[in-house]
């Protein structure tokens, strides 16, 4: 009626939402939407989650939908995989993906391979989620990136969000997917606020699995990254822009299936490629991107060899100064860009 009278109604503006709250929203909306969805893991219920991702969900949905488990990844992951085979849609939280090593037999041999081995008769709609990669001051046994490990395995989908929109949209898409999905979050991003658009505030908002996003347009070099290093790439791009170098920054969002078409199209435009990741260099995500580019038609457009920026090839030290030197920093990305551009 107001619009008919010529009164302009302002649309809801974008708001600032932390990654933690975006994940909480996604879980809340999907638990409400589908009664087959349930969350299980260590401290997810009465304690509201080790990182407060599941805050308020136990009080709202009760013991059958939000389940505290013993400290036994092999046990509760097996329960979750069996529940998925029986028709439920579990969200299985690891307090850190380093602890998923306790359950990797369930993730790979049970979840990833069952659809194929049953000739499609048994689907395993399950999400394995939790923090991945280095946090701060937690040393070698809590700082590993498993993107390359899980991205290696057919039968899994692997997603790795950066922003709040990534986190919400990818988690909702993962819960609705009929395949097992590994969602690799980052603990250091949980408290970081990002702008969330009006569209992303909708209960129907999802981020398609397998589709990368160009976070910044550029013409001189392509930067490809996932998770927290995407932010480092944008910072490096802002610094380089002051020197006349325009970087195109691609947020992969999905590790498997990888959106290599978006990367190829960017390389055709910029003629240079730098990959950035927090994981180790050998057999890493960057190595896979470089191989795909070399094997495809975009290779003919490269004016210089592709360069990888990775974590150091060592177990993560505890000391902060050593830790900082083991994780890609903005200065490392700037150095790599100048190297590939020969400036």
264 is catalytic: no
| CA 287/CA 266 separation, integer angstroms | 17
Cβ proximity of 101 and 146 under 8 Å = no
Question: Angle at CA 229, nearest 5°, toward 225 and 230?
Answer: 60
248 is catalytic: no
Structure tokens at 71: 């400290």
- Catalytic member of 142, 220, 226, 232: 142
The two most distant CA atoms of the chain are separated, in Å, by 67
- Catalytic member of 30, 73, 93, 248: 73
- Inter-CA distances, 263 with 222, 255, 260, 305, 312, Å: 8, 13, 5, 15, 24
Using alpha carbons, select from 144, 135, 132, 175 the residue that is nearest to residue 157: 175
- Inter-CA distances, 51 with 68, 185, 194, 264, Å: 14, 12, 18, 37
Give Rg (Cα) of the chain.
Answer: 21
The catalytic residue positions are 73, 142
């Amino acid at each position: 009626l107001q619009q008919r009278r010529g009164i302009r109604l302002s649309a809801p503006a974008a708001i600032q939402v932390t990654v933690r709250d975006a994940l909480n929203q996604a879980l809340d909306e999907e638990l409400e939407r589908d009664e087959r969805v349930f969350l299980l893991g260590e401290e997810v219920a009465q304690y509201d989650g080790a990182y407060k991702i599941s805050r308020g969900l136990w009080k709202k949905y009760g013991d059958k939908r939000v389940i505290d488990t013993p400290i036994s990844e092999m046990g509760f992951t097996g329960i979750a995989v069996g529940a998925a085979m029986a028709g439920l849609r579990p969200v299985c939280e690891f307090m850190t993906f380093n602890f998923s090593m306790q359950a990797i037999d369930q993730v790979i041999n049970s979840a990833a391979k069952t659809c194929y081995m049953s000739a499609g008769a048994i689907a395993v709609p399950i999400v394995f989620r939790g923090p991945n990669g280095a946090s701060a001051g937690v040393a070698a046994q809590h700082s590993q990136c498993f993107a390359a490990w899980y991205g290696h395995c057919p039968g899994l989908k692997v997603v790795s969000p950066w922003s709040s929109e990534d986190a919400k949209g990818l988690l909702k898409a993962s819960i609705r997917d009929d395949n097992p999905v590994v969602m690799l979050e980052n603990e250091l991003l949980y408290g970081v606020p990002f702008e969330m658009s009006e569209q992303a505030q909708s209960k129907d908002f999802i981020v398609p699995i397998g589709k990368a996003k160009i976070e910044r347009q550029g013409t001189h070099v392509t930067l490809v990254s996932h998770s927290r290093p995407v932010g480092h790439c944008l910072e490096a791009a802002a610094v380089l822009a002051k020197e006349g170098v325009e970087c195109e920054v691609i947020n992969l969002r999905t590790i498997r299936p990888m959106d290599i078409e978006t990367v190829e199209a960017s390389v055709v435009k910029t003629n240079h490629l730098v990959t950035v990741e927090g994981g180790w260099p050998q057999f890493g995500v960057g190595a896979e991107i470089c191989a795909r580019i070399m094997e495809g038609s975009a290779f003919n457009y490269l004016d210089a060899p592709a360069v990888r920026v990775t974590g150091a090839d060592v177990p993560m030290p505890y000391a902060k100064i050593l830790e900082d030197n083991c994780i890609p920093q903005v200065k490392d990305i700037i150095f790599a860009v100048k190297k590939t551009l020969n400036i």
